[in-house]
Amino acid sequence: MQLRKVSMTHSPAERHALKHVAVHLLVPLFLGTGMALAYLGGFHQPNPQGVRVDVVGTSADAKVMAQTLQDEVGDALDVRTVASVEDARDQIEHRELAAALVPGRDTATLLHSDAASATTSSSVLTVFQAVSEKQGVRLQTENVVPVASEGDPSGQSMFFYVVGLTVGSYAAGIAIGAAGAGLRLRTRFGLAIVASGVLAALVTLVAGPVYGALPSHVGQIGLLAWLYTAGIVLFGVGLHPFLGRLTTPTMVALFVMLNFTSAGGVYAPELQPGFFGALHSFWDGAALNEIGRNLVYFPELGIGREVVTLVLWLVAGAALVGVAGVAERGVWRAAHATASTQDVEEELEEVVAVG
Q: Residue 17 falls within a domain, yes or no? A: no
pLDDT for position 352: 59
Domain shared by 104 and 232, yes or no? no
Residues spanned by the domain of 77: 51-129+139-143
Give the count of domains, the chain. 2
Query: Is 293 exposed, middle or buried, given 0-12, 13-18 or 19+ CB atoms closer than 10 A?
Result: buried
Q: What is the tens place of the pLDDT at every residue in 169-183?
A: 999 999 999 999 889
- The whole-model pTM stands at 0.87
pLDDT for position 333: 46
Q: What is the tens place of the pLDDT at every residue in 245-269?
A: 899 999 999 999 999 999 999 899 9
Domain shared by 88 and 225, yes or no? no
Contacts of residue 99, defined as CB under 8 A and 6 or more positions apart, other chains included, come to 51, 53, 54, 92, 110, 111, 112, 113, 121, 124, 125, 128
pLDDT for position 181: 87
Among 77, 111, 143, the domain-final residue is 143
Angle at 311 between CA 205 and CA 206, to 5 degrees: 10
Q: Residue 36 falls within a domain, yes or no? A: no
Among 82, 115, 143, the domain-final residue is 143
Domain shared by 160 and 70, yes or no? no
- Could you report the average pLDDT of every consecutive run of 10 residues in the chain (355 residues)? 54 81 85 90 87 93 90 89 95 95 91 94 90 88 92 92 97 94 92 97 96 94 98 97 92 96 92 92 97 95 96 98 88 50 61 58
Domain shared by 166 and 84, yes or no? no
Rounded CA-CA distance 305/314 in Å is 14
* Nearest alpha carbon to residue 313 among 280, 284, 355, 349: 284
Among 89, 110, 143, the domain-final residue is 143
Rounded CA-CA distance 36/261 in Å is 11
Domain shared by 187 and 291, yes or no? yes
Rounded CA-CA distance 250/170 in Å is 10
Rounded CA-CA distance 284/287 in Å is 5
pLDDT for position 1: 47
pLDDT for position 157: 94
